[in-house]
Structure 1
Amino acid sequence: MVTFPPEKAPKPGLNIYGFASVKPYKLAIAAEELDVPYNYVHVDMGADEHQSEWYTSINPNGRVPALVHVKEDGTSVSVFESGACLLYIAAEFDKEYKISYPFGTPEYWKQVSWASTVSNRPCRHEASISPFVGGDRLTIADIAIFIFAYSARWCGVNIDEFSNVKAWCDKLLQRPGFQRGLEVPKPYAFHDEAVSNSDAQEFYIRMRKLGSRAIKAATDKWHGDMVPVPSDHANY
């Protein structure tokens, strides 16, 4: 039986486990769009909580985000990876189909396809996300892809070059649910305006270094006898 630190233990209802990185914001936005009460649990990556026994009991991959839904009958469900978490939130809490389509419909599978798409696809297929990604209204597909479009400059892409993507992104930013979700656990720090701030570059340089070190540590752990390729370690 895994013992959780008291402040990290799942409470009755929806528990979102995350960190102030990119993907966990998707879950907060979905919950806010549905007005679902939730308990946000901060996973301290700096203290390696994501590798702790209590957290890997939720997500064996040791990554954020994840969720635990403690139901009224006392049973609980754990889900990890942001796409799976969005699907669960929609299935469990979106009975009126505010951010999803009914299971099995063509629209359902279209939203799942887009929600599973690699993050750089919206800019390559900008015509397909107007007015929304998965159909004629907001779905989890929009939520899944939005956070990457909103962070395009962090990836070296100028979203202004893609007028439909820019209009779609601006439209979503006007929604109160998106605005509230982008504040949890603290204001989102990787959007275009923030990363373009010349007075705040020290933070982003530090984040890139931390990311590079994490990649190197993972590579060193699993590299084994594999033959290295020229791109290995290029960005350390």
Structure 2
Amino acid sequence: MIDLYYWPTPNGKKVSIFLEETGTPYKVIPVQISRGDQFKPEFLKINPNHRMPAIVDHQPADGGAPISVFESGAILFYLAEKTGKLWPQDLRTKYEVAQWVIWQVANQGPKLGEAGHFRRLGDREGNQSYAVRRFTDEANRLYGVLNMRLRDRPYLAGDQFTIADIISYPWTVGWQAQGQDINEFKHFKRWFDDLSTRPGVQRGLAVGADLAVDNTKLPPEEQERIRKILYNQRAIPVAD
């Protein structure tokens, strides 16, 4: 059994999609990030970076004690290796997949996240026009990278659906909030539409739908409290 420490964000949905696609048994343990669950001591033992998702595998392959894994890319590598699914191990395909997983965690996720952040922020912290333009343009560039990659193959690593596709897809669901028009990227859109019809993807996206909260509908003072938790974090003090 896999314990999935989860909140319904793009990073969380990467893992729930994999688990649903492969039929891997798992239990969702909500990490309510707007409440600060990610800073609780028991969660920090699993993920010292105080971010979700994270997993605990109670039946690791070595037969030993439960093993915890954090960071979405590492989690997908671990689960794919454990299940023997969605990460082909022939030399060439293996590294086609690996490089696109790392591309996602190093490029796509951070930059699309910043695009969404600054576009939501408005002028609450002063004029953000440069940041909005900078990250909206970078988001556009990254959609272009996907579009070019997919012009001559059905999936990111070639002919097979893999964890490379799973890890990239959830961050593209919010393309409108990132200031993009995916109709500009026909090869990407074909891939996006194809993945959007997969039952496992649909189930994975739906995980935690009952947990999600629309912060824009909360009172202003509650929105401010949540912003203080989620944004402009600094180091957690460490006892001597």
Q: 1:113 corresponds to which residue?
A: 99
Distance 1:150 1:122 in 2: 14
Q: 1:67 corresponds to which residue?
A: 55
Distance 2:176 2:227 in 1: 18
Q: 2:36 corresponds to which residue?
A: 48
Q: 1:217 corresponds to which residue?
A: 232
1:184 aligns with 2:174: no
1:35 aligns with 2:23: yes
Q: 1:58 corresponds to which residue?
A: 46
Unaligned runs of 5+ in 2: 109-138, 236-240
Distance 1:52 1:84 in 2: 22
Residue in structure 1 matching 2:68, options 62, 65, 78: 78
Contact 1:172–1:178 under 8 Å retained in 2: yes
SS in 2 for 1:68: strand
SS in 2 for 1:152: coil
CA deviation digits over 1:126-171, x for unaligned, max 9? 1212410112110100011111122211211111111111110110
- Calculate the TM-score normalised by the size of structure 2: 0.72
Residue in structure 2 matching 1:155, options 172, 175, 178: 178
When residues 208 and 132 of structure 1 are mapped into structure 2, their CA distance, relative to the original with a 3 A threshold, is farther
SS in 2 for 1:155: coil
Distance 1:208 1:47 in 2: 12
Q: Which runs of 4+ in 1 moved over 3 A?
A: 200-204, 206-217
CA deviation digits over 1:26-55, x for unaligned, max 9? 100001111111101101222211001000
Q: 2:192 is matched by which residue type in structure 1?
A: C
When residues 127 and 211 of structure 1 are mapped into structure 2, their CA distance, relative to the original with a 3 A threshold, is farther
1:16 aligns with 2:10: no
Distance 2:199 2:225 in 1: 32
CA deviation digits over 1:66-86, x for unaligned, max 9? 111001746211110111111
Q: 2:198 corresponds to which residue?
A: 175
1:202 aligns with 2:216: yes
Q: 2:87 corresponds to which residue?
A: 100
Contact 1:26–1:147 under 8 Å retained in 2: yes
If each structure's helix is expressed as a fraction of its own residues, which one has the higher value?
Answer: 2
Contact 1:122–1:145 under 8 Å retained in 2: no
1:137 aligns with 2:160: yes
Distance 2:230 2:206 in 1: 28
Contact 2:183–2:189 under 8 Å retained in 1: yes
SS in 1 for 2:13: helix
Distance 1:187 1:152 in 2: 22
- Calculate the TM-score normalised by the size of structure 1: 0.73
When residues 172 and 211 of structure 1 are mapped into structure 2, their CA distance, relative to the original with a 3 A threshold, is farther
Q: Post-superposition shift, 1:209?
A: 6.6
Distance 2:102 2:41 in 1: 28
| % identity of equivalent residues | 28
> What root-mean-square deviation, in Å, do the aligned CA atoms of Structure 1 and Structure 2 show?
2.8
